[in-house]
A and B are shown apart, each in its own frame.
Chain A
């Protein structure tokens, strides 16, 4: 399909494949007032280096759709997207890569196909699974990771995974993490250089915990339809257990809660309990605003572009957090969130430690006291699977005491990580990745 293009006759019309990128190339190949002279490379090589970069987008929902489109139109060519969800009819108002006929299909797959079709030359690889299903090797292949998630759990997981990937011997192991988030008319975008700048765990206090109503209000003097729903959710369900386990996505379960809430609302003369409100309260749904998603995604992709091209300073080392509010006119504020020394994720990077697996746990604990960085007097130790030894409380000390005479090889595997805490350290924890210096002889 040809479109008339107005060009002065003396100028050569740009060839079709390049015309889309002409303004982008102005930015990518010309120095601007804020360009860092040292890292900026105006040659075509910089453009092709950017095109070789591999990006991972986490989430293909409201933010993810915007992010994928923006990245593809920013000149990135190799993008992966991961999302375990399927398309629901209620997504269609803002998740614009999906159509009615896509309902029930994988978000990652449909989004990838749509953007590939509309932006020629971009490759988008979908992964229809949980982020936790992928191992370190998978995350190692990317240059930049961009999150468009609505769950704090998933953010914390990817944050700690990227922090743990960092290997000081290998600059490629440092993956800038760009995180976007929206809640109604509010949103934020932030850039994290794992282990170097304040991480998601450091910034956990920026997420206001879900506003909760006192339990006694729910139990005795409900005033709002939400109170009746919360009551049905927290108290009536627990008391009557109509199904073994509450499944927020099961319409039968939501209907049960809805009917309970409705009856209670009638009892207290409260109006407004509906099925969809019940679903919203139980699943903690905050109405998503398409324009907030668009603004936050644009900000995230702008940061990815700046990191990839060095055309302009990005968020990260100085200011690292941009908050946006569209509640009362428009307001943005950008600031530096400080890294926390006692952050349980980036404040203590797992150090490698060689141990003789034939040492007993008691001997191992004694050796910890001698380590200069730790000087642990009363360490408590656990692995992901096992509580290896706890100095307190008493009940745990008693139960873990028999481990003291066991050999380390019985308690941990080669390469396993342990967490060590000690009350004398205040809030600092240590993590060690244990490597066996000798084979383990079990007898």
Chain B
């Protein structure tokens, strides 16, 4: 009995040899599914600098309503190999004036950190990001000054958003021009 097993084993070992590391990883497979199910509104676009690497890409958001209307915002997405156990790492590549995004591009979005769950998908993250531009909120501040402005003086905050988006300064901080036109 054992003899036959070991013979079979040898034959199989030959077949298995050379197949090392040519397997699609679980993270790749899952992100492929998430990407093929993405349903993006016309205000958002993805771009893949290296199409073979679907774990790293950029997202552009062009809000068509709200205080950030007329802007074009870029984010990088880095999907870890541990995805979906761990959330995608998302950063804004521009220096913008936003209560939930700091000057280095870190984003405070609950589902990117404390509320991430493996059942969430890329679509949920992207919709969450878009929501930040429609409804910036002062209660989860990453940029304390902007949050304070939003809380205390909504109209002043709106003016600050417009001037920052145009490449102007708000309280000695100069921002990047992010207007589409």
Contact = CB atoms under 8 A, between A and B. Distances in A.
Contacts of A345: 26
Given A153-B81, A170-B8, A396-B48, A417 B104 contact: no
Nearest to A159: B26
Contact of A214 (B8, B22, B36, B140): B140
A413 interface: yes
A220 B140 CA distance: 9
Interface string A188-230: 0000000000000100110101111111100110000000000
A390 B106 contact: no
Contacts of B108: 214-216, 219
B64 interface: no
Given A238-B106, A392-B35, A219 B141 contact: yes
A35 interface: no
Interface in A135-181: 135-137, 140-141, 152-153, 156, 160, 164-165, 167, 170-173
A216 B140 contact: yes
Interface string A409-433: 0000101111101110001010101
Contacts of A214: 108, 110, 113-114, 140
Contacts of A132: 21
B115 to A, nearest CB: 9
A433 B23 CA distance: 9
Interface stretch (B12-20, B67-75, B157-165, B170-178): B12-20
Tell me what chain B mostly uses at the interface: helix, strand, loop, or mixed.
loop
Contacts of A20: none
A234 to B, nearest CB: 7
A91 interface: no
Contacts, number: 178
A272 interface: no
Nearest to B110: A214
Interface string B35-67: 111101000011110011110000000000000
Contact of A140 (B12, B54, B86): B12
A141 B9 contact: yes
A156 B134 CA distance: 38
A395 interface: yes
B141 A172 contact: no
Contact of A382 (B24, B40, B119): B24
Given A172-B5, A235-B102, A238-B104, A382 B28 contact: yes
B17 A396 contact: no
B82 interface: yes
Name which of B32, B117, B118 has the most chain A CB atoms within 10 A of its CB.
B32
B2 A52 contact: yes
Nearest to B44: A393
A429 B27 CA distance: 12
Contact of B114 (A165, A212, A385): A212
A136 B17 contact: yes
A344 B142 contact: no
B77 interface: no
B10 to A, nearest CB: 9
Given A214-B114, A344-B29, A415-B22, A140 B35 contact: no
Contacts of A399: 48, 51
A431 to B, nearest CB: 7
A216 B32 contact: no
A294 B111 CA distance: 37
Name which of A52, A140, A209, A234 has the most chain B CB atoms within 10 A of its CB.
A209
A172 B26 contact: no
A421 B32 contact: yes
A415 B32 contact: no
Contacts of B100: 216
B40 A393 contact: yes
Given A49-B2, A136-B17, A214-B108, A396 B54 contact: yes
A328 interface: no
Given A205-B118, A214-B110, A344-B30, A165 B102 contact: no
Given A152-B82, A204-B118, A396 B9 contact: no
A419 B46 contact: no
B12 A170 contact: yes
A393 B116 contact: no
B114 to A, nearest CB: 5
A325 interface: no
B142 A384 contact: no
B86 A384 contact: no
16 contacts: A52-B2, A135-B20, A140-B16, A152-B82, A164-B23, A209-B86, A380-B35, A382-B28, A382-B54, A387-B48, A387-B52, A392-B36, A396-B46, A417-B24, A421-B36, A429-B33
Given A172-B5, A212-B113, 10 more contacts: A140-B9, A140-B13, A153-B82, A164-B23, A172-B9, A214-B114, A216-B141, A238-B106, A393-B45, A419-B32
